[in-house]
Amino acid sequence: MMRILDARVDWREDVANDPRLEVLVDEIPDRSELRFENEDELWVAIEDGYVEFFAWSGNGNDGGYSGRCFEISTVDGDEVTLKGPWSSRAGCVNQRSFGPVVDVRMTSEPDVFEQGHTFRSSTLTLSAAKQAIDLADDDGHLERVEKFDDEPYWIPVREKKEVDPA
């Protein structure tokens, strides 16, 4: 079972990109332990707050990951080979019945978390991401925004500090 150990927000104030939640966990689930469901050509697995997904429709849709094959197990117990799926994004997952989910940067290595680089791109359920942001030293929360043709996303935002009128 994956446990969230620590978290912080990279506010990315020097660029125009959204802030990213960086999360330290005790272990990242192995794909062989995950069970995927398929909805509208999106294959999604959720385990203990960890989310993994691929976009794949089958024949003729095999150019992602340079055509690499991914062996997955479904919730029905079937074994499926995804040849060249695409990675997709949280907003696509959130448009279906799987969400809400949040893109994060994650590691299970304390040294990586301390150094602040070589994280892996990952996804957490909104509930797990809220748990993580509550561990961060900064006062922040996750706020829903829409991007790319009304895709829902949750991004870190700073709490507004009240200014003393005196």
Q: Do 85 and 110 sit in the same domain of this protein?
A: no
Residue 25's domain spans which residues?
4-29+99-158
Using 50 as the pLDDT threshold, list the residues of the chain that sit under it.
Answer: none
Whole-number pLDDT of residue 63 = 84
Number of structural domains found in the chain: 2
Same domain, 55 and 79: yes
pLDDT of residue 164: 65
Edge-first strand listing for the sheet containing 120-125: 4-10, 20-25, 101-107, 120-125, 50-55, 42-47, 35-39, 69-74, 79-83
Q: Are residues 25 and 38 in the same domain?
A: no
CA-to-CA separations, 67 to 29, 34, 82, 128, 135, in angstroms, rounded: 23, 21, 9, 32, 39
Residues 54, 12 share a domain: no
* 98-122 residue pLDDT tens: 989 999 999 999 999 999 988 999 9
Indicate if 36 and 23 belong to the same structural domain: no
Q: How many CB atoms lie within 10 A of CB 159?
A: 9
In a domain, 8, yes or no: yes
User: What is the predicted pLDDT for the residue at 61?
Assistant: 75
Same domain for 44 and 84?
A: yes
Query: Under a CB-based contact definition with an 8 Å cutoff, are residues 47 and 40 in contact?
Result: no
Average pLDDT of the chain is 93
> Of 72, 92, 112, which marks where a domain is finished?
92
pLDDT at site 44: 97
Query: Percent of the chain scored above 90 by pLDDT?
Result: 78
Same domain, yes or no, for 131 and 49?
no
| 165 within a domain of the structure (yes/no) | no
